[in-house]
Amino acid sequence: MNEVDQELARAWFRKAENDLLGARNNLTAKDIPYDVVCFHCQQAAEKYLKGFLAWSGYPFERTHDLERLVELCAESVPELSAIRDEANLLTDYAVGIRYPDSLDEPTPEQTNTALNAAMSIRQSVLKALLSKGFVPSMEQG
């Protein structure tokens, strides 16, 4: 991995952390926008997976398909295939959730499941990076 890949990976991880922060902050609101929380959970997972691919120097296409991104990540670290179910659960929240006629409003239970899935993907990606000797600092610089 070169410095450019490393910095790009860190940038993806910082963005992912912001999405998780947005999801958690929205969960404390008086009126919780469950669709927005689920969207940010999907976005966080997507950015963690793309950060892993950037760190690996692996080119990837523009996609919101988390299952496809997991497949690409698993080519480098096969253990990452274990997060396929979580990825599959979150993929629909990338686009469909943003439109009124596409998906039903998520329930509080579905929203908690989405947050847990995003956190699981985050943990798995960070564990894979640490096993390869990369400490993914989220700080600037």
**Tell me, what CATH number does 112's domain have?**
1.20.120.330
Residue 81 domain-assigned (yes or no) = yes
Domain that holds residue 78: 3-131
The pLDDT tens digits for 59-71 are 878 888 999 999 9
pLDDT of 58 above 70? yes
Counted domains in the chain: 1
Q: Which pairs from 92-101 meet CB under 8 Å and 24+ separation?
A: 93/38, 93/39, 93/41, 93/42, 94/39, 94/42, 94/43, 94/46, 94/64, 94/66, 95/64, 97/35, 97/38, 97/39, 97/42, 98/35, 98/39
Residue 55 domain-assigned (yes or no) = yes
Residue 79 domain-assigned (yes or no) = yes
Mean pLDDT of 97-121: 89
Tell me the pTM. Answer: 0.90
φ, ψ for residue 28, nearest 5 deg: -95, 0
Residue 138 domain-assigned (yes or no) = no
